[in-house]
Amino acid sequence: MKAEFADQWNIVCIAVDGTEKADDIIERCIRDEATYDDGEDVLMCVQFPGRPQELYTQAAVIRSLASPLSGKEGQHNE
């Protein structure tokens, strides 16, 4: 996991390799201020492998890691 810059939103973006747990990604986004407040939600700027930089809610980060395409089943700490 590494911090990059997202020109589109002028914020930090966390690039992940897909082995991380959702809770770790969310924690890193908060710590590194890779967040964007759209007026309704605080979104996290994340780049998953093979995908562009995007804004995600916490729930979407968790779902993205649990998707069949990732080969994982929800790596998030309850």
Task: State yes or no: pLDDT of 65 exceeds 90.
Answer: no
- The CB density around residue 22, as the number of other CB atoms within 10 Å, is 22
Give domain limits for the chain: 2-70
**Stated pTM of the model:** 0.82
Residue 19 and residue 75: Cα distance in Å, rounded? 9
pLDDT grade for 71, boundaries at 50, 70 and 90: very low
Task: State yes or no: pLDDT of 66 exceeds 90.
Answer: no
pLDDT grade for 4, boundaries at 50, 70 and 90: very high
In this prediction, residue 55 carries a pLDDT of 97
In this prediction, residue 72 carries a pLDDT of 45
Give the C-alpha distances (Å, rounded to integers) separating 28 from 51, 54, 57, 68, 69. 19, 15, 14, 24, 23
